[in-house]
Structure 1
C-alpha cells in the first residue's frame, strides 16, 4: 500500500489461507487499513481547510505562515533541503555544505559536528548555497527534503536551549508557563504582520513546523 503521484494503491495479493477465521481477520484488517488510508488521503485537504477556517474565528495559531526560508542547495546532486529550527538544522547545514562544495569542505578540515559558532565553508550570506524561496523554481528536477521532529520534543529542546540555558526568552527565566504565554503573543503578533525581518530568534525556534 502506498500513496504517490495523486494515485492510491490498495492492498493486493492477500495471503490465501484455509482457516476461515484467519482469512476473515486478514480481510477485516486489510479493509480497516484501506479505510484509514482513504480517510487520510481524501480528508486531509478538507481537514486543512476546516482548520484554517476555525483559526480565523478563534484564537488558534493558523498554519502556513512563512516565517523563515532556510533553503540550502547542492546543485551537483540536485538536492534542496529545508532547514527547520530545532529539527537537526545544525547537522543539516553541515551535510548540505559538504555536498555543495566537497573539495573546500575537506580542504578546511570541516566536520559534520561543526556548531553554529564555527567558521563555515558555506555561509547564509552565499546566495548560491542559501537560496531565497523565489529562486527555487529556477532549478530543475530537485529532490527536496526536510527533517521533521516531533512537535513536543522540538518545543522542549527549544525551551531548554533558548529559555533555560541561554536565558533568551524575555524575562521568563525557566518559567515554562510564562514562555508559552509570551510565545503565543509573539506569534499572534507575527501573524498580523508576517515580515521575516521582524521575526525574533525565539519566534523562529518556537513557530509551528507548518510555518
Structure 2
C-alpha cells in the first residue's frame, strides 16, 4: 500500500512546498519509490518537478522524482496517481476554507498530515482552527515549525501555544537563506553533498517515516 503524506496549512508562506520537495528527495534517497502530487493551482511542486526532469536529461545522476499536477475538484482521481509507489507526498493550496471537502477527504486518506507553521502569532491563529478540523478527520497529524529560531522569545512562545492544541514535531526547520536557491534547477539542499541545512530535513524525514510505519 502506498503511504500518503499530506502537506497542508491554511496560511500561505508557511513552507509547504519547501517541505514537500525536501521530503520527496529524502524518501527517494532512502530507496523509496516516490511521487509528488501537486493540488495547488500555482503548481509550485509541479514546476519544480519539470525543472528536475529537464536537468536529469543532462545530469542523470540526480535521483528521479516524478511529480504530477492534479485538480482538487477530483481529488480521488489525483490520489489514484499514487498507485504503484511506496510514498506519495501531496502539496495543497493554502486556502483550505475554499476546498474543505476535498482537503479533509485527502486528510482522511493520508497516513499523516504535516502542517507547516512559521513562528508568529498570525500563524498560530491560522493553524489552531485547522488542527481542530484535522482532529475530526485523522488521528495522525503534526505541526512542523518552519523558519524557526530557538534563541528568540517568539519561538518559545509560539511553540508553547501550539503544543497546547497539536502534536508538534521534535524537529524544526531553521531560517535558511539559501533554501530556495536549488529549486530553480529542480533540486533541494539534499541533492548536494554536505550542503548547509541538510540535517533538519533528514531528521524531519526520519520522524515522518517512523510515524507512517508505526
What TM-score does the superposition give when structure 1 sets the normalisation length?
0.27
What TM-score does the superposition give when structure 2 sets the normalisation length?
0.27
Structure with the higher fraction of residues in strand conformation: 2
